[in-house]
Amino acid sequence: MQSIIFDPTLIGTGRIFPPAIESLDWIGYHATSSYYSFDIESAGFLLKKPLPVDDLERLVRIAVRYEEDGSDVNGFIQLRSISFTPLSELALYFVRPDSFGGQGLLHITRLINTLYQKHAAQFTTDEAAHLTAERVNGCETHLFTRLTSKWV
């Protein structure tokens, strides 16, 4: 796979790659973060969620219990597509730092943060165990850490 680095001086023009690429009208652009890049580069684009769907569904149930909006995470669970854009610079929008590497990850981390900020003191033992410690490959990790640990 050939990697082509975008030209940061072109940000604001809509087209951040060399004209030889930008002139090809059959190219769709997809930006990703280090979270997904290894999987994409080794196996292509897969409709794989960053965490097990059971964990995401449980996160939504916890949100409902505390009357927080889990619809964005629920929508991400249901999503069965990968987005591409015909405008190269628009792809950068989805990898900005606050998006955490994609729309779905943005929704997950926002909901986890909201639950912690507003309701951590009221978590049941089971909710606290789910949100604060998960067993992954024999190691105990925070659900949020399971997302961040994959970053390079």
Q: Does the global pTM surpass 0.75?
A: no
Mean pLDDT along residues 118-131: 86
Specify the number of domains making up the chain: 1
Q: Which domain holds residue 28?
A: 8-148
In a domain, 76, yes or no: yes
Query: Pseudo-torsion of CA 68, 71, 74, 75, nearest 10°?
Result: -160
Distance CA 145, CA 47 (A): 22
pLDDT in tens, 21-31: 889 888 888 87
User: Is residue 46 in a domain?
Assistant: yes
Better pLDDT: 70 or 102? 70
Mean pLDDT, rounded, of the chain: 78
pLDDT for res 98: 62
Amino acid at site 13: T
Helices and strands (H, E) in the chain, number of each type: 8, 2
Residue 1 lies in a domain: no
In a domain, 137, yes or no: yes
Is there a domain that residue 107 lies in?
yes
User: In this predicted model, what pLDDT tens digit does every residue of 94-103 receive, in sequence order?
Assistant: 776 665 556 7
Helix (H) or strand (E) holding 139: strand 139-141
**b/e burial code for range 37-65 (CB count within 10 A of at least 16 → b):** eeeeeeeeeeeeebbeeebbebbbebbee
Instruction: For residue 96, tell me if it sits in a domain.
Output: yes
Nearest to 109 by CA among 124, 121, 97: 97
Specify the pLDDT at position 97: 64
Do the domain assignments include residue 56? yes
141 in any annotated domain:
yes
Question: Cα–Cα distance between 21 and 27 in angstroms, integer?
Answer: 8
